[in-house]
Amino acid sequence: MTANVEVINKNKVKKSGQLRSICNRYKRNKLAMTGLLLMLLLIIASLSAHFIVDYDNAIHQNMEERFQGPRSKHIFGTDHYGRDIFARIIHGAKISIFMGLFNVFTALAIGSIIGSVAAYFGGYVDSILMRLMDVFLAVPQTLLAISIVAVLGQGVFNLMIALCIAAIPKFARVVRSAMLTVREQEYIEAAKACGTGDIRIIFRHVMPNAIGPIIVQATLDMATSILSIASLSFLGLGIAPPTPEWGAMLSEGKVYMRDYPYLVVFPGLAIVITVLSLNLIGDGLRDALDPRLRN
Amino acid sequence: MIRYISKRILIMIPVLLGISFLIFSIMSLTPGDPALNILGKDATPESLQLLREEMGLNENFLTRYAKYMINAFRGNFGISYTTKTPVFDEVFTRYPTTLKLSFFSVLFAVTLGIPIGIVSAIKRYSLADSFSMTGALLLTSIPSFWLGLMLMLQLSLKHGWLPSTGFDSWKHYIMPCITLGAADLAILLRITRSNMLEVIRQDYIRTAKAKGAGEVRLIFKHAFRNAMLPIVTTIGLTFGSMLSGAIVVESVFGIPGVGTMIINAIRAKDTPLVMASVLFFTVIIGLINLLVDILYAFIDPRVASRYRG
């Protein structure tokens, strides 16, 4: 099985020297590699959250142990209900990361369809779709998400719908402009002149060249959506307690932060590290995909 | 130029109509009865029915929307369901606070971001450059509400240097403006740096240097003026993100601006108030973008000649 995968990978790399040079450029970027490593650690931690620490510690109230400062038994301390903050952060990672991923993939899928349809058909279809996207873009993303959540009501699912709707227009624009830029290139004309079919042109020539900016946008947008999930939960419009969520933890801890500052320090650090590693990956990818942009 | 400006203002109308329709439909087509919200759970069915009739809630959706828009054009945005005062007054008493907060935050971001960006570009790969780039990276990754909480913890709760909530004296402005401006400072810093680097490479900079232009003159007269266009665009966009960021920052510091009003209005399902605030937000962002485009003409003669043509 592993051998097979290796063979496939080898073939892939051999075939496209471009992919290999992108990987090499990415690997040389220390900051980007740090970001990738941090993200992998976070993903592993969130996948194995149940093995690291019991979910019960994250939600079970234990009034006898409330406001225990950081020490060996509770390395990040406990909150006003005596719940272990480390457990809540680890289980919170699962929520933030998977909601972020889900949000980006859905928005990307829908945005890609809208963007490609607009770019492919042009003319009236393009104008109408893009003006519609402009309407959504004219409302600040957070405000749009807040209005949608407020109307649909609190909850994980509604939050995801709201963030997804708010993120679609950006993807539609990026996909459209990437498609339009590539379409005008000479190598597409050359491929057409050689008698290459439409489908082959789209998948073999347009897609690989247009996908760079889209991947970068997706990585950076995942950072944005994790921030938005936390912001909305902080405002009390996102994920409702007692579910462990970083933004909601900050909102709860805020009340007691004068006496117990660790309540707001650790969840905030978790958000910063997650968002930072995604930003590092996004920047690294952008530089690796287009070295001309690098300053 | 005037033709261009009027054309841009005309383009804003369909966008505003679209947004108002979007928000109006979101707010009206979802469950929840404003009449019940106003009168409370103990209201009799008759009084509910009467109030619904009075508020025009029984008419169909499109008629309600059309009526709302006609009134809005006359400057009448309806009566707030919660405070029972005209929405227009409500929004206008709160707007100055949010605009002041955003303005000073932009000012903070600009006065620090641009000079540091220029220095970073000139002293590329120096210690100062790596330091400011790392700082910028960190600032873009820190959520504003956490930065606000940390500042509050250190500067007001621990040392008592600054007041933690409210918005009265200049001291109240410091923490919220830093909190709101931090991320945009980082963005401006990066944009300034990368554009300066781009411009410094150009032939005309080498020519100016060869002709003996001094360093200061070279940087400000020759390089910075040419790097300014994308920077101005970013400042314009920044203002838009500030206004929405204000919602979060206002709630952290308990500032009585539009942000806190929107959150409360949304919770109370106060449709007229939400509609008016979001519309005002959009109008202001649209106007700022227009202002930025007009500014281009003053910065770049090439753009000015295009407007004339």
- B18–A135 CB contact, under 8 Å: yes
Averaged pLDDT, B208-237: 81
pLDDT confidence bin for A13, thresholds 50/70/90: very low
Confidence of residue A122 (pLDDT cuts 50, 70, 90): confident
pLDDT for A269: 94
**Do A272 and B141 count as a contact with CB atoms less than 8 A apart?**
yes
A189 pLDDT more than 90: no
A244: which residues sit within 8 A by CB, 6+ positions away? A58, A59, A87, A88, A89, A91, A92, A95
Amino acid residing at A232: L
- Residues B148-178 have pLDDT tens digits of 999 998 888 888 888 877 777 888 889 999 9
The pLDDT assigned to A1 comes to: 45
Beta-carbon count within 10 A of A182 CB: 20
* A interface with B, Cβ–Cβ below 8 Å: 31, 131-132, 134-136, 138-143, 146-148, 150-152, 223, 227, 230-231, 234-235, 237, 247, 250, 254, 257-258, 261, 264-265, 268, 271-272, 275-276, 279-280, 283, 295
B149–A264 C-beta distance less than 8 A: yes
Among A127, A141, A151, the residue to mutate for chain B (most B Cβ within 10 A): A151
Which of B230 and B187 is assigned the larger pLDDT? B187
Of B152, B153, B278, the CB nearest to A139: B278
Question: How far apart, in whole angstroms, are the C-alpha atoms of residue A295 and residue B191?
Answer: 11
Average pLDDT score over residue span A88-115: 91
Residue A292 or residue B52, greater confidence: B52
First vs last C-alpha separation in chain A = 42
Closest chain B CA to residue A256: B153
Q: What pLDDT digit, counting tens, does each position of B82-138 carry?
A: 778 888 888 888 888 998 999 999 999 999 999 999 999 888 888 989 999 999 999
Query: Which is nearest to A239 in space by CA: A101, A58, A96?
Result: A96
Candidates A284, A282, A290, A285; CA nearest to A100 is: A282
Percentage above 70 pLDDT, chain A: 92
Nearest in space to A288 (alpha carbons), one of A216, A239, A194: A216
Whether the predicted pLDDT of B181 surpasses 90:
yes
- Closest to B19 (Cβ–Cβ): which among A135, A258, A279? A135
Partners of residue B18 in chain A, C-beta under 8 Å:
131-132, 135
A276 and B150 within 8 Å at the Cβ level: the answer is no
How many Å apart are CA B229 and CA B234, to the nearest integer? 9
Please determine, for residue A71, whether its predicted confidence score (pLDDT) is greater than 80: no
Q: What is the dihedral of CA B103, B109, B110, B114, to 10 degrees?
A: -170
Residue B259: other Cβ atoms inside 10 A:
28
DSSP tally for chain A: helices H, then strands E: 14, 0
Rg (CA), chain B: 24
Q: How confident is the model at residue A3 (pLDDT cuts 50, 70, 90)?
A: low
C-alpha–C-alpha distance, residues B28 and B306, integer Å: 44
Question: Tens digits of per-residue pLDDT, B31-75?
Answer: 666 677 677 777 778 887 887 777 777 777 888 888 888 888 787
Measured between beta carbons, the chain A residues lying within 8 angstroms of B144 are 231
pLDDT band at A7 (very low <50, low <70, confident <90, very high): low
**Rounded CA separation B78/A294 (Å):** 52
| pTM for the model | 0.83
What does the DSSP 8-state code read for residue B275? H
Helices (H), chain B: 2-28, 34-39, 45-55, 61-73, 87-122, 127-141, 144-151, 170-200, 203-210, 215-217, 225-253, 258-267, 271-299, 301-308
Residue A149 has pLDDT above 50, yes or no: yes
Predicted local confidence at residue A294, as pLDDT: 54
Q: Collect all residues of chain A within an 8 Å Cβ-Cβ radius of residue B19.
A: 135, 138-139
Please answer yes or no on whether B141 and A150 come within 8 Å at the CB atom: no
Q: Are B264 and B252 in contact (CB under 8 A)?
A: no
Nearest-angstrom CA–CA distance, A92 and A55 = 10
Q: Shortest CA distance to B8 belongs to which of B306, B282, B302, B286?
A: B286
Query: What's the CA gap between A107 and B185, in Å, rounded?
Result: 28
The predicted structure's pLDDT at residue B32? 64
Whether the per-residue pLDDT at B4 is higher than 90: the answer is: no
Q: What is the pLDDT of residue B306?
A: 66
**pLDDT value of residue B80:** 81
Q: What is the structure's pLDDT at A191?
A: 86
Mean pLDDT of A59-80: 78
Residue A16: per-residue pLDDT: 61
Q: Which of A14-18, A21-25, B247-251, B279-283 has the highest mean pLDDT?
A: B247-251
Nearest chain B residue (CA) to A266: B146
What backbone phi and psi angles, to 5 degrees, belong to B204? -65, -25
Q: Would you say residue A5 has pLDDT above 70?
A: no
- ipTM exceeding cut-off 0.85 for this assembly: no
Pick the more confident residue, A185 or B107.
Answer: B107
Does the distance separating the beta carbons of A147 and B278 come in below 8 Å?
Answer: yes
pLDDT band for position A148 (cuts 50, 70, 90): confident
The distance of A202 to chain B (nearest Cα, Å) reads 33
Question: Three-state SS for B205?
Answer: helix
| Residue A112 vs residues A47, A201, B82: alpha-carbon distances, Å | 29, 17, 41
pLDDT of residue A292: 63
Does position B290 have pLDDT exceeding 70, yes or no? Answer: yes
Find the mean pLDDT for residues B18-32: 74
What is the C-alpha separation between B61 and A275, in angstroms, rounded?
42
Q: Which residue of chain B is at minimal alpha-carbon distance from A150?
A: B266
- pLDDT band of residue B234 (cuts 50, 70, 90) is confident
| Cβ pair A152:B278 closer than 8 A | no
Between B127 and B3, name the one with better pLDDT: B127
The larger pLDDT score, comparing residue A219 to residue B80, is at A219
Do the Cβ atoms of B282 and A146 come within 8 Å? no
Residues B211-225: pLDDT tens digits? 887 777 788 777 888
* SS3 category, B86: strand
Beta bridge partner(s), residue A84: A78
Please name the residue that has the structure tokens 């007041």. B163
User: Which helix (H) or strand (E) segment is B256 a member of?
Assistant: none
Closest CA in chain A for residue B143: A227
Q: How confident is the model at residue A295 (pLDDT cuts 50, 70, 90)?
A: very low
Q: What is the mean pLDDT of residues A21-44?
A: 90
Nearest Cα of chain B lies from the Cα of A186 at a distance, in angstroms, of 26
* Domains of chain B by residue range: 2-73, 89-268
Distances from the Cα of B247 to the Cαs of A176, B81, B169, B244, B251, in angstroms? Answer: 31, 21, 20, 6, 6
Dist. CA B171–CA B192, nearest whole Å: 29
Q: Is the pLDDT of residue A290 over 70?
A: yes
Calpha distance B138→B241 (Å, rounded): 18
Task: Domain B89-268: state its class.
Answer: mainly alpha
Encoded tokens for A121: 């058909």
Q: What residues are paired with B79 via a beta bridge?
A: B86
Q: Does A135 contact B15 at a Cβ distance shorter than 8 Å?
A: yes
pLDDT digits (tens, 9 = 90+) for A257-281: 888 888 899 999 999 999 999 999 9
- Within 13 Å and on the Cβ side, how many CA atoms surround B59? 11
Contact present, A221 and A157 (Cβ < 8 Å)? no
pLDDT in tens, B190-204: 999 988 888 888 888
Residue A225 pLDDT > 60: yes
Q: Which region among A132-141, A249-258, B188-197 has the lowest average model confidence (pLDDT)?
A: A132-141
Of residues A6 and B296, which shows the higher confidence score?
Answer: B296
